[in-house]
């Protein structure tokens, strides 16, 4: 919680907007480093497990790694000037903290988290034949003390069922951003960088380069960054969703998870998590395990990143994002 008097905050925001807007408007933010995180990993954290235990035995950690490796290669190919940093390139376990640290240490400008979803399976039953069972018809003979119970066996034919897990019908790719109420966690990540925090403008004013984020003014500044990160996260998430829409698979939209996604909050940069598909949907599982599917996903995400880069680096984007406070 930030304890700043509302009036003071208002004044400060006004001052800040007058002071900073020209700096934001005139220089452009370059997308220099992208961090690609293959979700899960190692024997300790396989992630979700596929549906076809006998044929594919697929594990989320392997799918995320295969897609991430292809995504890294595709990003390097399409954006040769951008530094692409994977959190892992082999089947190793990493603590989420370690992943966030890697991203923060290389001063990433964008964090792409690759995952695969799974949904709850319902139980179905089907008739596989019939079988005979013996039942008993009970009758009574006589009256009073002499009353006798007579059990007469008879055969009936009943259906024989087999029970099985119904394949998941849900399929497609969804994109996740950190929940708005979790902004304070994002603030902590930003404020941790206090001191050597690079201002959004790239080659900014030297006065801003050693900004102290622990001061009340600094906290407001950090809050502004958190807001900008959220806007940018939403922008890249929307672009990924749009690119998925252009494929034959379903795009499930941009979502905010109520339960926080820790790694998205701990990274000091715009961050999204992509649930590439449902590992326990038969069709998605085949797609996620195929070279073709993995490559398509890598290209889809890359196309979104290329568009994102163009937008954030264009003059237009800088001026539209500051129109609210820029006098024309
Ligand atoms: Zn996952």
Q: Does 6 reside within a domain?
A: no
Q: Does 49 reside within a domain?
A: yes
Q: What's the confidence (pLDDT) of residue 5?
A: 37
DSSP, collapsed to helix, strand or coil, labels residue 139 as strand
Q: What's the confidence (pLDDT) of residue 210?
A: 47
Q: Does 51 reside within a domain?
A: yes
Nearest to 273 by CA among 112, 124, 66, 165: 112
Distance from Cα 236 to the centre of ligand 1, integer Å: 20
- Same domain? For 86 and 229 the reply is yes
pLDDT classification of 258: cutoffs 50, 70, 90: low
Distance from Cα 273 to the centre of ligand 1, integer Å: 9
pLDDT classification of 275: cutoffs 50, 70, 90: very high
Q: Does 16 reside within a domain?
A: no
Pick from 111, 141, 165: which residue ends a domain?
A: 165
CATH number at residue 178: 3.40.630.40
Average of pLDDT values for 120-140? 89
- Same domain? For 197 and 57 the reply is yes
Rounded to whole angstroms, the Cα distance separating 46 from 261 reads: 18
247 Cβ contact list (under 8 Å, min separation 6): 296, 300
Q: What's the confidence (pLDDT) of residue 195?
A: 35
Number of structural domains in the chain? 2
- Same domain? For 138 and 218 the reply is no
Pick from 135, 165, 195: which residue ends a domain?
A: 165
Share of the chain above pLDDT 90, in %: 51
- Same domain? For 108 and 136 the reply is no
Task: Kindly report the length of the chain.
Answer: 328
What residues are paired with 133 via a beta bridge?
Answer: 156
- Same domain? For 181 and 316 the reply is yes
- Same domain? For 144 and 105 the reply is no
Q: Does 2 reside within a domain?
A: no
Distance from Cα 77 to the centre of ligand 1, integer Å: 26
Model confidence at 34: pLDDT above 90: yes
Distance from Cα 116 to the centre of ligand 1, integer Å: 5
Model confidence at 325: pLDDT above 90: no
Q: What's the confidence (pLDDT) of residue 202?
A: 32
Q: What's the confidence (pLDDT) of residue 178?
A: 77
pLDDT classification of 187: cutoffs 50, 70, 90: low
Distance from Cα 284 to the centre of ligand 1, integer Å: 15
Distance from Cα 162 to the centre of ligand 1, integer Å: 32
Q: Does 21 reside within a domain?
A: no
- Same domain? For 160 and 300 the reply is no
- Same domain? For 61 and 137 the reply is no
- Same domain? For 58 and 159 the reply is no
**Domain assignment of residue 130, given as a range:** 123-165
Rounded to whole angstroms, the Cα distance separating 156 from 134 reads: 6
- Same domain? For 154 and 252 the reply is no
Q: Does 311 reside within a domain?
A: yes
- Same domain? For 151 and 284 the reply is no
Q: Does 7 reside within a domain?
A: no
Distance from Cα 118 to the centre of ligand 1, integer Å: 9
Pick from 132, 165, 198: which residue ends a domain?
A: 165
Q: What is the reported pTM?
A: 0.71
Tens-digit pLDDT profile for residues 189-227:
766 654 333 333 333 333 334 456 677 777 777 777 778
- Same domain? For 189 and 70 the reply is yes
Tens-digit pLDDT profile for residues 279-311:
989 899 999 999 999 999 999 999 999 999 999
Q: What are the two backbone dihedrals, phi and then psi, of residue 255, each rounded to the nearest 5 degrees?
A: -125, 155
């Amino acid at each position: 919680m930030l304890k700043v008097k509302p009036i003071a905050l208002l004044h400060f925001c006004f001052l800040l907007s007058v002071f900073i807007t020209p700096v934001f408007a005139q220089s452009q933010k370059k997308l220099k480093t992208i961090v690609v995180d293959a979700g899960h990993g190692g024997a300790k954290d396989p992630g979700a497990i596929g549906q076809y235990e006998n044929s594919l035995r697929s594990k989320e950690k392997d799918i995320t790694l295969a897609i991430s490796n292809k995504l890294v290669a595709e990003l390097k190919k399409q954006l040769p000037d951008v530094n692409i940093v994977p959190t892992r390139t082999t089947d190793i376990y990493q603590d989420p903290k370690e992943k966030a640290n890697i991203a923060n240490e290389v001063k990433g400008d964008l964090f792409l988290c690759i995952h695969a979803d799974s949904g709850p399976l319902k139980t179905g039953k089907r008739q596989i034949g019939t079988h005979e069972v013996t039942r008993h018809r009970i009758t009574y003979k006589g009256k009073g003390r002499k009353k006798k119970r007579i059990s007469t066996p008879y055969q009936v034919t009943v259906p024989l069922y087999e029970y099985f897990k119904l394949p998941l019908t849900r399929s497609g790719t969804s994109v996740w951003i950190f929940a708005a109420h979790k902004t304070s966690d994002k603030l902590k990540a930003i404020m941790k960088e206090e001191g050597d925090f690079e201002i959004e403008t790239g080659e900014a004013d030297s006065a801003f380069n050693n900004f102290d984020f622990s001061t009340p003014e600094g906290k407001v500044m950090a809050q502004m960054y958190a807001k900008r990160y959220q806007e940018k996260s939403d922008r890249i998430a929307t672009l990924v969703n749009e690119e998925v829409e252009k494929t034959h698979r379903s795009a499930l939209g941009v979502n905010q998870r109520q339960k926080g996604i820790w790694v998205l909050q701990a990274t000091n940069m715009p961050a999204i998590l992509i649930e590439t598909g449902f590992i326990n949907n038969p069709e998605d599982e085949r797609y996620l395990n195929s070279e073709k599917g993995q490559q398509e996903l890598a290209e889809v995400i890359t196309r979104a990143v290329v568009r994102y880069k163009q937008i954030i680096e264009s003059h237009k984007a800088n001026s539209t994002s500051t129109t609210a406070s820029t006098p024309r």
